[in-house]
Amino acid sequence: MSEFKQIGLIGRLHSPAVIETLHRVIACLNARQVAVWVDDRIASSLHDAQSYNTPYGTGDRHFLGQHCDLVIVVGGDGSMLSAARIMATYGVPVIGINRGKLGFLTDIAPDDVEVSLVEVLDGQYAKSDRFMLSAHVMRNSKEIGRGSGLNDIVLHPGESARMLAYDLSIDGTPVYFDRADGLIIATPTGSTAYALSAGGPIMHPGLDAIALVPMNPHNLSSRPLVVAADAELEILIGDDNRTAPIISCDGQVHIVCEPGDRVRIQRHEARLKVLHPLGHHFYERCRSKLGWHGRSSDDE
């Protein structure tokens, strides 16, 4: 008998492909007599799914986190990131079905939905544990905003094209002052996302490390820096900035800052549990998603 008795479903909005896949997932879970709960943001698009023998319930994402043993996310990496920040706080594992573009975080291909889900329900899956980052923005010693990110925390100028001036400290020790288009603080999970585009290192998701990647730094000696995951980072936003910088968490939660604010970033207390189909390998994902190639017969 499956260890997953209550399963929640979250999907990207306004996507016919996602709706079609959710119908198939519901049918598969109903056939296994699993209780199904659908995120109420997308439930209205699934009204005809009620024709299945076992109806599904609805609730918001916090309800799913409180009542479900597993949450299935149908969409792209953005959908997974949005769900992950909530599910991690409840300790609920997630698994992704890729209906997006790159799909680094969503492992199951649409054509493999039924086969992969049955295997997961039968206990045939791999599991990884991912840490997240938390950001606290302080102004005059008072917190004015906070957020968390599975991929990254990014300091950037918003819509302005101006460079940002900031001071970086790690564990209370000054590291450097810089002017740049911004600074990306990425987890290993996020090292293949925005940080990779800015020239950051690719890190295996099992590492306990954080990558700090300046974006187009004025100081040419400012290179990506990898530090321990338990490091405490502080960014002091320079008083001479002529714009209101923004702290973005996974590109989805945004905090508007002011010159003189301090941004404190550290490992979040919650961790995300991610389930994978058997045969999932990180380096194979890199090969397929990033276009890495092995030796061809012409090279021999």
CATH code of the domain made up of 133-269: 2.60.200.30
Write phi, then psi, for 15 (nearest 5 degrees).
Answer: -130, 110
Residue 236 is predicted with a pLDDT of: 97
Q: Is 112 a catalytic residue?
A: no
Residues 119 and 176: their CA atoms lie apart, in Å, by: 50
Q: What is the DSSP string of the chain?
A: --S--EEEEEE-TT-HHHHHHHHHHHHHHHHTT-EEEEEHHHHGGGGGGGGSSSPPEEE-HHHHHHH-SEEEEEE-HHHHHHHHHHHHHHT--EEEEE-SSS-SS--B-GGGHHHHHHHHHTT-EEEEEEEEEEEEEEETTEEEEEEEESSEEEEE-TT----EEEEEEETTEEEEEEEESEEEEE-TGGGGTHHHHTTPPP--TT--EEEEEEES-SSTT---EEEETT--EEEEEPTT-SS--EEEETTTEEEE--TT-EEEEEEEEEEEEEEEETT--HHHHHHHHHT-----GGG-
Question: How much of the chain exceeds pLDDT 70, in percent?
Answer: 95
Categorize the per-residue pLDDT at 153 as very low, low, confident or very high, splitting at 50, 70 and 90: very high
* Range 1-26 average pLDDT: 92
Per-residue pLDDT tens digits for 233-282? 999 999 988 888 999 999 999 999 999 999 999 999 999 999 999 888 88
Q: Which two tokens stand for residue 179?
A: 């002017």
- Of 48, 60, 77, 122, the catalytic one is 77
Does residue 105 contact residue 264 with C-beta atoms inside 8 Å?
no
Across the chain, what does the average pLDDT equal?
A: 91
Domain 6-123 grouped into CATH 3.40.50.10330: yes
Per-residue pLDDT tens digits for 76-103? 999 999 999 999 999 999 999 999 777 7
Residue 297 is predicted with a pLDDT of: 55
| Domain ranges for the chain | 6-123, 133-269
Write phi, then psi, for 47 (nearest 5 degrees).
Answer: -60, -35
